[in-house]
Each structure stands twice: as structure tokens, then as C-alpha cells.
Amino acid sequence: MIRLIISLITIGLMFTQLSTAEIDPKSIVGAWLFNENSGKVAKDSSDNGNDGDLVGGAKWVKGKFGNAIELNGKDAWVTVPEIGPLEDFTLLKWFNATGRVGLWRCFFNRDGWAPGFVHYQFRPDNKMEMAIHSNNPVRHPGWLNSKFTADKDILNKWFHLAVAYSSNDESVHVYFDGELDAEGKWGPLPGEFGPGRIGSWSGGGREWEGMFDEMLLFDVALEEADIQMLMENGLEDTLAVEAANKAATIWGQLKLGFTDK
């Protein structure tokens, strides 16, 4: 019996070492995994029903994890319903650009442009900006000093990008491929994401050309370890590992209450 207890505890510790991330599924506002292979709906895999509608020439292709969505840079995007305001948030995804270098290219923009509205995109100077209307400053600090430049050298390659923001702490952290790229003091407004568009803006002229996969929106500012875990394993496997981790740990703790017989 003692050996069984030791084995169970060892298994629990092994699961714990698999991940230092702590992803609470209840913090997921929208999870567009783009794993469909037909139809005109991008399902939200959270419990919030924020399904997206495909517009124009959007189509399903192979992605980083299962399938992805491909947009043509002209008349294709994914619309999303009303989302927000979120006092804290993290928005992350895999992206693969295939064109429109030197032009506005949207990741996720709230329709219109008014206080609290989020605009998340590459600029004509090929730098990434996360902007919240009426924030101080409007654009996230450090965007000019970012080491990532979205020029022709990034075309046809997959990259991971995450922005973690807290209006409560008035802070922002930007991560490219899981590594901190820029940070700074930023606030104080919550961010509103919808109604909006993935890969375009209602004002026009900012369409994305390329692919997106695993577009995830949380209502917390995730830590670097969380972002790296999601980047490397995808949402579904990350949650599965954490569930197994918790189950094994609880089981090991329960067994500690038994004595050898």
C-alpha cells in the first residue's frame, strides 16, 4: 500500500512539472480555434456563444493546430458579436501573413472608433499596435521600440503574438513567440472588442491577407508561462494537461489520508 501511495504522489508531481501555467477556463471570453473545415461559422469554443461569421472569400485551410482561417486581404473577414468592456484582457493568436506589407493589416478591431474601443493591427510602418481609444497614450507604450517588424521577411511564416493588458494595474505586456517584446504603463480604460471583426475593420481598407489560428481572448492579463503553454500546446491540450494535473494531485492528496494495511 505504501508503494502505491508513493507511486500516486510521484505521478501527481510529474503532472505538476508538465506545466507552470494556470489557465482558468472561466476566464476565456472567446476561443476561435478555426478547426472547422466547411460552413460559414467560426465556432467560439468557450461557453459564451461568441461565434463568428465568415464574410466574403474567407476559407478553411491547414493551420498550426488542426485547421485555420485564411483571408484574402480584399473582401474576407470574420465578424464577432458584442464583447466587453473588459477591465483586464489577453488576446493571443498564431498568424501567417502572405501580403499587404506596408499597409494597415487588422488582427481584431472593434467596429467604429470611440472611447474604449480596441484596435489591434499592423501599421503602415510595419509595427504592431494595440490601441484603446482615449487611453493615455492611445497606443500601447513601446510599440516604436518593438523588435518585431512585419516586413516582407515575415511572409509565409507562422508567428505567435500575445498582448496582456490590465486597466486595473495600468500595464501592458507584448509577447512575440512567447518572449517579452515590449511593456509599459498604460491605461486607464477597459477594452471593448465587439461588435467587431477578425481580419478587418468596419471603416474599410485594413484587411488581413494570410491566416489566423487559435485566436483566444481572456478576461485576465495572463502571465508569460501561461502564454508560452498556450503557444506550444494549443488551448485544448493545455486545458487537458491542467485537468489531469489537478486530478492527479488531488488523488495523491487523498491517498495521503490512508494508512498502510
CATH number at 23-239: 2.60.120.200
Q: What is the reported pTM?
A: 0.86
Question: Per-domain residue ranges for the chain?
Answer: 23-239
What DSSP line would sit under 9-40, residue for residue? HHHHHHHHHH------GGGEEEEE-----SSS
The confidence score (pLDDT) of residue 20 equals: 52
* pLDDT tens, residue by residue, 40-76: 999 999 989 999 999 999 999 999 999 999 999 999 9
The confidence score (pLDDT) of residue 248 equals: 41
Answer whether 207's CB lies under 8 Å from 122's CB. Answer: no
User: How sure is the predictor about 258, in pLDDT bands with cuts at 50, 70 and 90?
Assistant: very low
Residue with the three cell numbers 492579463: 221
